Chain A
């Protein structure tokens, strides 16, 4: 981990695998797209005799899935469990929607099952750049060269990016592929 971040205390996302949580009374699975991890979860829920609401990007685009999840959780009641799987950008964006609706950490499971490319929030123009794989990358909004910092916003579902040569203009660090 860069800069010696304490993994015990950091707010950086902690992903794992998806395990069916029988303590919940309603289960919402959000996949972008379906994969073996999600199929296994659905099978476990079925064999426990539980209904699952499934949203996935196979039939609708990411924007539509985010929208649907927001609507669904706005009407949901305490007792729901949410499971998110997909590439890092999809998981972080859906998690932000879930948190905004009031979901707490012990009601949410996340698994990054595809690309680890990050969503990066530009601290200068506030645009979120999707699919950032390198430690230094251009902002999709203002074009500044951003350094991707190890600071994560749950609300934005994105990592913090700031102008890489802000301290020493013109001195840009070499980009490294960190999140393929």
Chain B
């Protein structure tokens, strides 16, 4: 099953902060882009030196705007190259390919009020949230923490979409936003849901505070963007059906290595969250790096988008 892609032109590149660039993507020939739900991402085919990287980025624009998508990309030099490719190789006027939007972080439709908490680049999905909630007349408040004033991204977009709902915090370690949130989370009417997107330690602290104040799990929502910082070593896998051995070099994921061999595995997020690329194994011990697979399946399957090999030989049931 070949993935359908949409060709878009890079209409604008905006330097938002020293590390974050916004890319405005417009359709070719005026064909409208698909509308999307707030929290959606697109997988961008990022041109690279030797290969295309497929990275998911949240759509940071209005869900009804069909003549422009905006994504914001933070450059991570120690990453696997996707964000650096976006910063260094993608130029104004370029035509690049994206995959249609998918949503793994949709707002709860039954909520009568939302508290949104963002840290750093984690603010991107909340631009679309702000547009959608404002249009639907669902009250919300957005708390946005960044390391310093020069690191604040998308403030204009957010202020335009959510007048009066935005509180900002200059915060290195989460103390300021937590102090501000304590009072806010202690006084929310029933029907309120809390959604958090940001660095893992910050999300854990915010959710911990909410739990301490009596928030049940069903009101808590988070979007992890997996910054997989564990070292990656090369390994190999064998396919059970053909005995073919596939080498996975350090700089590739298992999913990419399989794709390079022409083996198409369905995927949505490519970062160990959605579960779409779950692949059964018949032997070996994976190094599970996803947050999807339940522990009881750790011996029988793996998520090739992020997981690697702990003890071989790793044999895939493919």
A103 close to B190 (CB less than 8 A): yes
B215 close to A78 (CB less than 8 A): yes
A105 close to B215 (CB less than 8 A): no
Given A101-B190, A102-B191, decide whether A80 and B214 contact each other with a Cβ distance below 8 A: yes
* CB proximity to B under 8 Å, residues A88-119: 101-107
Interface size class of B (residues with CB under 8 A): 10 to 19
Return A65 CB to nearest CB of chain B, in Å. Answer: 18
A61 within 8 A of B: no
B186 close to A79 (CB less than 8 A): yes
Return A107 CB to nearest CB of chain B, in Å. Answer: 5
A-contacting 9-mer, from B85-93, B216-224, B253-261? B216-224
Residues in B whose Cβ lies below 8 Å from that of A76 = 189-190
What is the bound-complex CA distance between A136 and B195, given in angstroms? 47
What is the bound-complex CA distance between A107 and B216, given in angstroms? 7
A59 within 8 A of B: no
* CB proximity to A under 8 Å, residues B204-218: 211, 213-218
Of B185, B211, B213, B218, which contacts A104 at CB under 8 A?
Answer: B218
A24 within 8 A of B: yes
What is the bound-complex CA distance between A24 and B187, given in angstroms? 14
A25 within 8 A of B: yes
A78 close to B218 (CB less than 8 A): no
Residues in B whose Cβ lies below 8 Å from that of A23 = 211, 214, 216
Residues in B whose Cβ lies below 8 Å from that of A24 = 214
What is the bound-complex CA distance between A81 and B214, given in angstroms? 9
Q: Name the residue on A nearest B185 (C-beta).
A: A78
A29 within 8 A of B: no
Residues in B whose Cβ lies below 8 Å from that of A144 = none
Given A23-B211, A102-B112, decide whether A78 and B188 contact each other with a Cβ distance below 8 A: yes
Given A78-B189, A80-B190, decide whether A104 and B112 contact each other with a Cβ distance below 8 A: no
Of A78, A102, A104, which contacts B214 at CB under 8 A?
Answer: A78
What is the bound-complex CA distance between A79 and B189, given in angstroms? 9
Q: For B112, B189, B192, B218, which residue has the most chain A Cβ atoms within 10 angstroms?
A: B189
Residues in A whose Cβ lies below 8 Å from that of B192 = 78
Residues in B whose Cβ lies below 8 Å from that of A6 = none
What is the bound-complex CA distance between A107 and B189, given in angstroms? 14
Return B210 CB to nearest CB of chain A, in Å. Answer: 8
A156 within 8 A of B: no
Residues in A whose Cβ lies below 8 Å from that of B187 = 77
* CB proximity to B under 8 Å, residues A40-97: 73, 76-81
A25 close to B214 (CB less than 8 A): yes
A77 close to B216 (CB less than 8 A): no
What is the bound-complex CA distance between A131 and B217, given in angstroms? 35
Given A76-B190, A78-B192, A104-B219, decide whether A25 and B213 contact each other with a Cβ distance below 8 A: yes
What is the bound-complex CA distance between A73 and B112, given in angstroms? 14
B218 close to A77 (CB less than 8 A): no
Given A23-B211, A102-B112, decide whether A77 and B188 contact each other with a Cβ distance below 8 A: yes
Return B195 CB to nearest CB of chain A, in Å. Answer: 14
10 nearest CB pairs, A to B = A79-B214, A102-B191, A25-B214, A102-B190, A106-B216, A104-B218, A78-B188, A106-B218, A24-B214, A76-B190
Q: Which residues of A does B touch, CB under 8 Å?
A: 23-26, 73, 76-81, 101-107
Q: List 23 contacting pairs A-B, 8 Å CB cutoff, sorted by A.
A: A23-B214, A23-B216, A24-B214, A77-B186, A77-B188, A77-B189, A78-B185, A78-B189, A78-B213, A78-B214, A78-B219, A79-B213, A79-B214, A79-B215, A80-B190, A80-B214, A81-B214, A102-B189, A102-B191, A104-B218, A105-B218, A107-B216, A107-B218
